[in-house]
Amino acid sequence: MAITVSGSDAAIASPPLSSRLTTPQVWGIVLLAPYILVFLAFVVYPIGYGLWLARHPASYVALWHDPIFARAAVNTLIFLVVGINLKMAIALFLSGFFAQQRTWIKWLSVLFILPWAVPSIPTILSVRFMLNPEWGMINTLIFRLTGEDGPNWLNDPTVALSMAIAVHIWKSLPFWTLILMTGRLAISHDLYEAAEVDGASWWQKFRFITWPSMQTLYITCTLLSMIWTLGDFNSVYLLTGGGPADLTHVLATLGIRYLRLDQLSLAMASIVCALPFVLPLVYFMMKRLSR
Amino acid sequence: MKLPTLREIGTEAKLLLIGIPVLIWTMVPIYHMFLFAISPKQDAFSGKLWPDHPTLHNFHIVFYQQHYFLRDFWIQFWNSVVIALSAGALTLLIATAAAFSISRLRTPGGRWVMNLALLTYFIPAAFLAVPMYRTMGTYGLLNNHWSLILAMVTIASPYAIWVLKQASDKLPVELDEAATMDGATTLQLFRLVYVPLMMPSLVAIGTYAILLAWNEYLYAFLLLSKDTEITLPVALGNFLAADDSPWELLMTTGFIYALPPAAIYYAFKRYMVGGLTAGAVKS
């Protein structure tokens, strides 16, 4: 076997490739090839095809005149701005709670992770049934306690969207709490002890110790969560189906709705419209993670 | 024994005041599902917090496929298993090879591939679903399990490659050099040195990909449509098609469907938390 140089490829890579390839380099290309093939066939081609489908200006005019699109765009914005910030604020708060050294809190954290560990479909359907106006658990309880009929939860677009946000929070809160907790546990305990000695209040400890060391992580998590939540199809589709009267769609479900109606160019155009908002976030995340 | 001071009791009470709502919030949807699964039909709709006559009859109906909605339960369960395991194995194979190539062999252009993969990781899954659906149609893979397996591999591998690259960057270079000096070929280096050392990360990534594929709804529902081809989550979604769908059976099926991933999660929690969250957000 030839003597191989695996550490310093930069010097070798510059001459004509074919003649100077060493065995490890051939293997390097062979081993990388499967992913490149997957990437070309299932990422590059679909995206190129999608953009090609979305090339007609007429699609954008049609979208502009579709009230459902405008509503979905607003809903998506509410979902992201209100939903995600609420979720991350709660996660930040709970990360402090779960960082406490108590046996019962440790056990609680094992249960707390359940929403993240179980598939979302059955639990979303479970919530959907709970909210059913006639037979659902919640309205049955309301009727038994007060003798009056409960509200028709999912028939009001504002309540229905709030419920979809609640389901989303329920599902992904454990994950972000866990991430923020690892950040919190990395903070030196000495700092808190010193603050304790100086008689710092709970708020001062958070403001001057916890927050400064966690803010980068917190903001990164928030942005990442926003990008991913754009793709959250299940919470809305399985809870409200976009209804009532297509008033609770978000961009993720709207694209699929157009696809079902065989309006493929509209489906793609609605996604392209989201790109100006998504790409800066993606660019920022790439900068943070590819170091 | 020291009696707790008033301040300690106060702290404990405050913690309980947070803990109890958190427990209720977390458990309600899951308990509701469980309650339906063990309730006879008439009990399920009475709004009781525990059924008068808890029963396993619903499980019996599901396991023996004794309902119109459940006539393909076992084949759908099997489809889910096959697709999850295939996607897990394929992701592991592709991602490990790629991470080894990028991190250890320093293949030219590897960094580029890494960045493109990361870019894919940030595309919201629902956005890629529409063009992916058409692409699978073009390739003639619609209604074929391969379409879902390949779609899941596409979605899982960027993160897999990234985590594995981070982990393998931490292995000392001297290891490879020593093995090469001893006359190990590249493939032996991969098989005998790299893979054994990477085991914890590989377990984490394999579990991640399996759970991702098992839990997937959107792609499964777009790419597969025949009753005997679909996976369990799609079958669950199909229950909604009828107004008089049997909720107690749906919840029972959902409960059965939710058990394997929960069990896997808790069994591999050690790896999941160490391997995934450490890499998930680098601060």
Question: How many C-beta atoms lie closer than 10 Å to residue B230's C-beta?
Answer: 24
State the Cα–Cα distance between residues B166 and B99, nearest whole angstrom.
9
State the Cα–Cα distance between residues A232 and A234, nearest whole angstrom.
6
Percentage with pLDDT > 70 across chain B: 93
Instruction: Say if residue B115 is exposed, middle or buried (CB neighbours under 10 Å; 0-12, 13-18, 19+).
Output: middle
Which residues does chain A have within 8 Å of residue B28's beta carbon, measured at their own beta carbons?
130
Nearest to residue A96, comparing CAs of B273, B14, B23?
Answer: B14
Q: Are A181 and A99 in contact (CB under 8 A)?
A: yes
For A259, which residue in chain B has the nearest alpha carbon? B130
Hey, are the CB atoms on B150 and A38 less than 8 Å from each other?
A: yes
State the Cα–Cα distance between residues B172 and B251, nearest whole angstrom.
50
For A224, which residue in chain B has the nearest alpha carbon? B122
**Peptide bond before residue A244 is cis, with ω within 30 degrees of 0:** yes
Nearest to residue B168, comparing CAs of B207, B128, B202, B212?
Answer: B202
pLDDT tens string B109-128? 888 898 888 888 888 888 88
What integer pLDDT is reported at residue A18 of this predicted model? 53
State the Cα–Cα distance between residues A55 and A291, nearest whole angstrom.
35
Q: Sorting pLDDT into bands at 50, 70 and 90, what band is B282?
A: very low
Hey, are the CB atoms on A126 and B115 less than 8 Å from each other?
A: no
Percent composition of chain A: helix, strand, coil (DSSP 3-state, to 5) = 75, 0, 25
Which residues does chain B have within 8 Å of residue A221's beta carbon, measured at their own beta carbons?
281
- CA of B33, closest CA in chain A: separation in Å? 6
DSSP string of A180-239, one letter each residue: HHHHHHTS-HHHHHHHHHTT--HHHHIIIIIHHHHHHHHHHHHHHHHHHHHT--HHHHTT
State the Cα–Cα distance between residues B12 and A105, nearest whole angstrom.
11
From B25, B101, B180, residue closest to A31, measured CB to CB: B101
Does residue B182 have a pLDDT over 70? yes
Instruction: Looking at mean pLDDT, say which of A247-251, B5-9, B90-94, B248-252 comes out highest.
Output: B90-94
Mean pLDDT along residues B56-81: 88
What integer pLDDT is reported at residue A8 of this predicted model? 43
Type of residue at B163: V
CA dihedral in degrees (B122, B125, B131, B132; nearest 10)?
A: 110
Hey, are the CB atoms on A43 and B100 less than 8 Å from each other?
A: no
Q: Sorting pLDDT into bands at 50, 70 and 90, what band is B260?
A: very high
What integer pLDDT is reported at residue B1 of this predicted model? 57
What integer pLDDT is reported at residue A28 of this predicted model? 86
Which residues does chain A have within 8 Å of residue B95's beta carbon, measured at their own beta carbons?
35
What integer pLDDT is reported at residue A291 of this predicted model? 60
Spatial CB neighbours of B104, under 8 Å, sequence gap ≥ 6: A6, B168, B171, B176, B189, B194
Nearest to residue A112, comparing CAs of A94, A127, A100, A137?
Answer: A94
Task: Provide the token pair at A191.
Answer: 């700092």
- Backbone Cα Rg of chain A: 25
- Regarding pTM above 0.95, the answer is no
Nearest to residue A191, comparing CAs of A203, A181, A205?
Answer: A205
Which residues does chain B have within 8 Å of residue A286's beta carbon, measured at their own beta carbons?
115, 118-119, 122
Does residue B83 have a pLDDT over 90? yes
Q: Are B51 and B43 in contact (CB under 8 A)?
A: yes
For A49, which residue in chain B has the nearest alpha carbon? B131
For B49, which residue in chain A has the nearest alpha carbon? A137
What integer pLDDT is reported at residue B281 of this predicted model? 45
Which residues does chain B have within 8 Å of residue A227's beta carbon, measured at their own beta carbons?
122, 124
Find where tokens 């929690």 sit. Answer: B269
Task: Provide the token pair at B200.
Answer: 């914890």
Encode chain A (291 residues) as per-residue pLDDT tens digits.
Answer: 334 444 444 444 444 555 566 777 888 888 999 999 999 999 999 999 988 988 888 888 888 888 899 899 999 999 999 999 999 999 999 998 998 888 898 899 889 989 988 999 999 999 998 888 877 888 888 888 888 887 888 888 899 999 999 999 999 999 899 888 888 888 888 888 888 888 888 888 888 888 988 888 898 889 888 888 888 888 899 888 887 888 889 888 888 888 888 888 888 888 888 888 888 888 888 887 766
State the Cα–Cα distance between residues B153 and B88, nearest whole angstrom.
8
Hey, are the CB atoms on A227 and B102 less than 8 Å from each other?
A: no
For B46, which residue in chain A has the nearest alpha carbon? A140
Nearest to residue A118, comparing CAs of B260, B58, B24, B164?
Answer: B260
Task: Provide the token pair at B91.
Answer: 């992701």
Instruction: Say if residue A79 is exposed, middle or buried (CB neighbours under 10 Å; 0-12, 13-18, 19+).
Output: buried
- CB-defined contacts A:B, below 8 A: 292
Does residue B85 have a pLDDT over 60? yes
Question: Which residue, among A5, A25, A42, would best test binding to B if mutated, counting the most B CBs under 10 Å from its CB?
Answer: A42
Question: Which residue, among B113, B157, B168, B186, would best test binding to A if mutated, counting the most A CBs under 10 Å from its CB?
Answer: B186
What integer pLDDT is reported at residue A251 of this predicted model? 86
pLDDT tens string B14-27? 889 999 999 999 99
Which residues does chain A have within 8 Å of residue B32's beta carbon, measured at their own beta carbons?
126-127, 129-130, 137
For A31, which residue in chain B has the nearest alpha carbon? B97
State the Cα–Cα distance between residues A80 and A165, nearest whole angstrom.
9
- CA of A54, closest CA in chain B: separation in Å? 11
For A93, which residue in chain B has the nearest alpha carbon? B18
From B94, B106, B130, residue closest to A268, measured CB to CB: B130
Hey, are the CB atoms on B110 and A141 less than 8 Å from each other?
A: no
- CA of A146, closest CA in chain B: separation in Å? 14
Hey, are the CB atoms on A130 and B233 less than 8 Å from each other?
A: no
Hey, are the CB atoms on B128 and A6 less than 8 Å from each other?
A: no
State the Cα–Cα distance between residues A181 and B26, nearest whole angstrom.
18
Nearest to residue A170, comparing CAs of A118, A108, A241, A248?
Answer: A118
Which residues does chain B have within 8 Å of residue A135's beta carbon, measured at their own beta carbons?
45, 247
